[in-house]
Structure 1
Amino acid sequence: MSELTGGPALPQERRVVTAIPGPKSQELLARKNAAVAGGVGVTLPVFTRRAGGGIVEDVDGNSLIDFGSGIAVTSVGNSAEAVVRRAAAQLADFTHTCFMVTPYEGYVEVCEALAELTPGDHAKKSALFNSGAEAVENAVKIARAYTRRQAVVVFDHGYHGRTNLTMALTAKNMPYKHGFGPFAPEIYRAPLAYPYRWPTGPENCGPEAAAAAIDMISKQVGADNVAAIVIEPVLGEGGFIEPAKGFLPALARFAKDNGIVFVADEIQSGFCRTGQWFACEDEGVVPDLITTAKGIAGGLPLAAVTGRAEIMDAAHAGGLGGTYGGNPVACAAALGAIETMRELDLNAKARRIEEVMKGRLLAMQGKYDIIGDVRGRGAMIAVELVESGSKTPNAAAAAALAKACHAAGLIVLTCGTYGNVLRFLPPLVIGEDLLGEGLDIIEEAFAGL
């Protein structure tokens, strides 16, 4: 058994033995296109056979370096020993009863762990769900029940999900919102502290953006009407934007002073991804509610809303839940993932990944003027690509670089409101040799543009 893969050891080395995608993957892609709805897109159509550590092995025998982690999900690897062990034991006992019918200890254990791990020493409670979008939607429900207000404030470049309400919260139209309206009402969008693109420069961004956002909320919405302010402490799909220092604390103070529930959406940035358990800890922000998913359960579907007990208890009995929310196998996997994060000190590993990646990427920035910005924390790192000599977004370069990396056996993702950001989300358990080899491939891709 492998510490990283939970089964027979998957060799931690890149192997490219066919074109990517190979013939077996192409056959499966044809079947996918015939049977799966066209709206379900695929970034890289290689069909997975095994995965673990920092490697994804496809059905053609290619072994790809993983800088995607299933979009920040498999932080502990795709089949971590503790996740497999605990989930397998739970599978043998029972797969489901519905916690709202006959409850089970695993759900309670996960909620206890969340109370311990999330920021703040106040009394906390949690509710468990299936997906990040469900968590965000329920956080809004809870905030509205607690405040008896309706308005929700979100931010430029934010991403919060694909349900009707969370599409309304999400900033980016294509592909997430286009043609799917009308959307839920009482959603208001405020300016974000985006240092690279702030008109008066990054040094002024935090206080100026906070003042602009608070002015907008106060004048256009009215603070007394706002149930919740919802923000990602490090934005994910919007481009791995770190809001300028001071922005989040100013919003949190404004929320507290006006009886507004401050919600940190940590679905992509949580669970050691940024080198801390949660990204909002970087500036000492203690949210009223925090939403989690993705990295929480080592690849099994689980999500949570955790927050101040008095706020969490505002919803009436039966008002929160769902048939599969907090499934026992997913809860067991989450406890295994948290065990792995602690035992391997994955916060420290994320900080080391940042050190290695930023060092290499900043050196590349000095050589390639299409790299406008290198940013991010921990193992949540990105480069923003621009037209040479300007800040004009260069989505074509991002697409070309991703294509070159894929052909060489490196899984990378793009993101950003303008589609011009190359993002890197390696598993926190990736070997440093694979990390370096992946960066070599990225540099070769830049050189080949």
Structure 2
Amino acid sequence: MRSPADLMALQRMAGNAAVTRVVEADRHSHSAGCLHHPGAGQVPVQRTGGDPDAITPAPAAEKKVDLNSFLGRDVPDYWKTLAWQQESEGVFASFLAQDHPVFRAIEEYARASQRLTPYTAPAGEKTRIGVITRELDDPAKVAALGPQGEAKLRRRKDEGKKNGPPPPQSREMQITAIKVVANPKLWEKYAAQRQMYRQSLSVKDGEGGFEGTGRDGSERVPWSIGQRPDLAGTAAVSMAPGPGPDHRPGPDALPPAGNVKAPASAGEAFFVHGTTPAAITGIQSGGFDLKYVSNRAKDGEPDNWGKLGKGVYMADSTSKAQTYTRCPDPQCTDFDCTDPNHPRKEMLMARGLLGQPNKAHIYDKSKRADDENKLKAGRTSIYSPGLKNDPLAMGATGGNEFLFKDVSLLYPEIRIYYQT
């Protein structure tokens, strides 16, 4: 097993991909339950129609997919109790019962979000209007919308104008189903980063992609719901001391920072992302992809990404994410649909390693031209505190906003089906 210093050196020299390969090679042992063992992955596939309302919790598989034997011990504890079914190549899913502790914790996350930080989007927000404009300029998408859907989107462009619609706003969420997704390829990348960050807090003189300060920078974030959104510990990843069956070291083998060992959840929280159902499927299959990030710059102009630069934008409140969620009805797709006859909306919840974030201030130089490679030394992400939580240093946004430039710091774990 390579030492933490060796792993950090590899990260500096060859990037995250090399670390992932090395960690996987060091800690993996083949078994009958391994997902790339011959014959692995041949489990029943749940098939449903295109209507999200037709999705129901899958019956228990006759044989559980042994994800733990492939991923090792450091997987979420609750994963080990679920009956997984293969959804697509390399992607496994399991629906939670409504009385499952994680289901209840997500319901409380949503209730706290609406109670403490109800959100109304700015009228005519550039991101939303830009998406609508591009869709209306695409003949194929206009044809799929039909006359009624096209008219609804054209009206949405008039937000803030006389007789225009009000901007999207958050409402109480009635969560009807929650699906958990296990994607071994994506989890390995995330787990490698997670291990590296935890070790960086434990190695007093650590070097590499994370600064070894011994202090978890995410502790200073003014979280929207009043505390770190960790689902009350129901989705925790336990790391038992001592070597496991695959001979990987437990946390007792990690060097401590003084007399304090970093908790397994250091730097981690659950974030939400509002988008379309099709986009959620793509993200849970292949991960977040920065090639889909919109650049609003015209030819010859400097790059014009989001307010915090290029990357994946996440929220720590389901209220804000609701205003980016699209209606699944192909002839609606509105950002603020309340039609009870339309299919359930969907929201993505991701486990994220915020790590040592860089705090954006209102007096900072504009970050709109900053690409994914521009980030303050020793930082892993950027966050902009909302006006309500931090009125004197609110950054660029009216609600907490988080930017991840490295997609391996996000694991798209949970798909929430809900009505408002």
Q: TM-score, normalised by structure 2?
A: 0.27
Structure 1 or 2: more helix by fraction: 1
**Bigger relative CO (Cα 8 Å, ≥ 6 apart):** 1
> Normalization by structure 1: what TM-score?
0.26
